C-alpha cells in the first residue's frame, strides 16, 4: 500500500509527463522534418534559396514559394486588418451586450468553416468572377488568394483584438469620458493605444495563419513555381510554400520529397517565430493591466 504522499507525488509526476509531451512533440516535429530534409540540404546547399525551380535541370530554388507566401499574407492583411479592427472596435466598445452575445459566436463560426470549403468557394465563385471581370489567363491568381485568405484571417484578428480592447481597464476609459471626451475620442486616444500590443499580437497571429494556410491557397494560387511578373502583379499566378508541399507531395518522389521537407522546415520556423513574438506581446498586455502573475 503506497502512502498518500507518495501517490500524490506520482500523480504530480504523471501530469508533468503529459504536459512535457507538447515539448517532445515540438522537438520531434523539428527532428523528423530535418531527417527527411537533410539529403536535399546536403545536395543543394544554398541552391535551395535560389529563384529557379526546374526539375529537369535539377534546380530546386524555393525563393518563389517563399516570396509567394509573404506576398499573399501581406495582401491578406491589407484586406483583414482594417475590416477586422473596425469589427473589433464595434464588438468591444459599441455593441450592446445582447448583440455582442450573438455576433461573437457568429464570427467564431466563420473561423470554423473548413479551409477546403473556403478554397472551393474561392476557386469556383471568386476565381471565375475575377477571370470574367479582368480577362485574366486563368481562374487562379494572387488576388483571389489574398481576398480568400483575408476573409479567413478576419475571425482571428477580430476576436484577439476584441479581447485586447476588452482588457483595457474601465477606469481609464471612464477618466477620459469624465474629462469631456466623446466615446470615439476615448477609443482613438485611450483604448487603442492601451491595447496596441494586443492588437499587434492579433495581427501577427493573423499573418501566421495566412502564411500557414494550405488548402484554400493551393486551389486558387495556380501552383506555378515562379515569381509574379512584375513582382507586385496580383493578377499573376505563383506558388506558396504550403501549396508547393501539398501539391508536389502526391506527385513527386526521390530528392524532391526531401526538398519539400526543407520547405516544411522553413514554414515551421517562420510561423513558430511569429507565434513566440505574438505570445510575448500578449503577455506584455496582460502584465500591463493585471500586474505580473
Partner 1 sequence: MSGRKLIALWLFVVSVVVALMGFWFMATRASMDYWVMAGSLILISITCYLSGVHHYLTTKNRHGRYIILYGSVVLMVAGLSIYIPDVLDLRPWEIYTRIPSDFFFSFFMLIIGILSSYVSFRPFHNFTKEGAQSGAYYIIHLSIIFTLFPLFLIMFNIITRGMGGITWEFLTEDIVSMGEKGGVYPAILGTLAMISLTAIIVLPLGVGTAIYLAEYARKGLAVRVIRTAVNILQGTPSIVHGLFGYAFFVLILFNGQKCLLAGALTLAILTLPIVTRSAEEALNAVPGELRDASLALGATKWQTIKKVVIPPSMPGILTGTVLGIGRAAGETAPIMFTAVYFSGTGTPSGLLRPIMALPYHLLSLYRLVGYRDVEPQAWATALLLLIIVLGINLSAIIVREKYRQRF
- 8 Å CB contact between 243 and 190: no
Q: Does 276 bind partner 1 (CB under 8 A)?
A: yes
Using CB under 8 A, pick the residue from 249, 252, 286, 288 that binds partner 1: 249
Nearest distance, CB of residue 58 and partner 1, angstroms: 22
Distance of alpha carbon 247 from alpha carbon 263, whole angstroms: 13
Site for partner 1 contains 192 (CB under 8 A): no
Give the range of 39-47, 48-56, 83-91, 161-169 binding partner 1 by CB under 8 A. 83-91
- Residues 4 to 23 in contact with partner 1, rule: CB under 8 A: 4-5, 7-8, 11-12, 14-16, 18-23
Nearer to partner 1, 44 or 261 (CB): 261
Interior angle at CA 217, CA 216 and CA 223, nearest 5: 135
Q: Which contiguous run of DSSP H or E holds residue 60?
A: strand 59-60
284 near partner 1 (CB under 8 A): no
Q: Give the list of residues 6+ apart from residue 139 with CB closer than 8 angstroms, or none.
A: 123, 127, 128, 130, 131, 220
Contact window for partner 1 (CB under 8 A) among 39-47, 50-58, 133-141, 191-199: 133-141
The separation between CA 288 and the C-alpha centre of its own chain, rounded to angstroms, equals 25
Q: What is the 3-state secondary structure (H, E, C) of 138-160?
A: CCCCHHHHHHHHHHHHHHHHHHH
Q: Which residues within the stretch 12-71 sit at the binding site for partner 1 (CB under 8 A)?
A: 12, 14-16, 18-23, 25-26, 28-29, 32-33, 35-36
Q: Which residues pair with 222 in a beta bridge?
A: 238
Residues 137-176 that bind partner 1 (CB under 8 A): 137, 151, 154, 158
Q: Please list, residue by residue across 41-52, b when 16 or more beta carbons sit within 10 angstroms of its beta carbon and e when fewer do.
A: beebeebbeeee
Residue 77 near partner 1 by CB under 8 A? no
- Taking the complex as a whole, the smallest distance from the CB of residue 225 to partner 1 amounts, in Å, to 16
Residue selected from 184, 189, 287, 290 as contacting partner 1 according to rule CB under 8 A: 184
Residue of 120, 140, 115 whose CA lies nearest to 213: 115
Cβ closest to partner 1, residue 57 vs residue 132:
132
Amino acid at each position: 500500500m503506497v502512502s498518500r504522499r507518495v501517490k500524490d507525488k506520482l500523480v504530480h509526476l504523471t501530469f508533468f509527463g503529459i504536459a512535457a509531451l507538447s515539448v517532445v512533440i515540438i522537438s520531434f516535429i523539428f527532428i523528423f522534418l530535418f531527417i527527411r530534409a537533410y539529403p536535399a540540404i546536403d545536395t543543394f546547399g544554398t541552391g535551395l534559396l535560389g529563384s529557379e525551380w526546374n526539375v529537369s535541370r535539377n534546380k530546386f530554388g524555393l525563393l518563389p514559394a517563399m516570396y509567394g507566401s509573404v506576398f499573399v499574407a501581406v495582401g491578406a492583411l491589407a484586406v483583414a486588418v482594417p475590416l477586422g479592427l473596425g469589427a473589433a472596435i464595434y464588438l468591444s466598445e459599441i455593441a450592446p451586450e445582447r448583440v455582442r452575445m450573438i455576433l461573437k459566436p457568429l464570427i467564431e463560426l466563420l473561423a470554423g468553416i473548413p479551409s477546403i470549403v473556403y478554397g472551393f468557394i474561392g476557386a469556383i465563385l471568386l476565381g471565375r468572377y475575377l477571370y470574367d471581370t479582368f480577362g485574366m489567363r486563368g481562374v487562379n491568381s494572387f488576388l483571389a488568394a489574398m481576398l480568400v485568405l483575408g476573409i479567413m484571417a478576419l475571425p482571428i484578428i477580430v476576436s484577439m483584438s476584441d479581447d485586447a480592447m476588452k482588457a483595457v481597464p474601465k477606469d481609464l476609459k471612464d477618466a477620459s469620458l469624465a474629462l469631456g471626451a466623446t466615446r470615439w475620442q476615448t477609443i482613438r486616444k485611450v483604448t487603442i493605444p492601451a491595447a496596441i500590443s494586443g492588437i499587434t499580437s492579433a495581427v501577427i497571429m493573423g499573418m501566421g495563419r495566412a502564411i500557414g494556410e494550405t488548402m484554400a491557397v493551393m486551389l486558387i494560387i495556380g501552383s506555378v513555381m515562379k515569381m509574379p511578373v512584375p513582382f507586385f502583379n496580383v493578377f499573376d499566378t505563383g506558388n506558396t510554400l504550403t501549396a508547393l508541399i501539398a501539391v508536389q507531395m502526391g506527385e513527386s518522389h526521390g530528392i524532391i520529397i526531401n526538398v519539400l521537407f526543407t520547405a516544411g522546415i522553413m514554414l515551421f520556423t517562420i510561423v513558430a517565430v511569429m507565434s513566440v513574438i505574438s505570445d510575448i506581446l500578449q503577455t506584455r498586455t496582460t502584465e500591463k493591466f493585471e500586474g505580473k502573475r
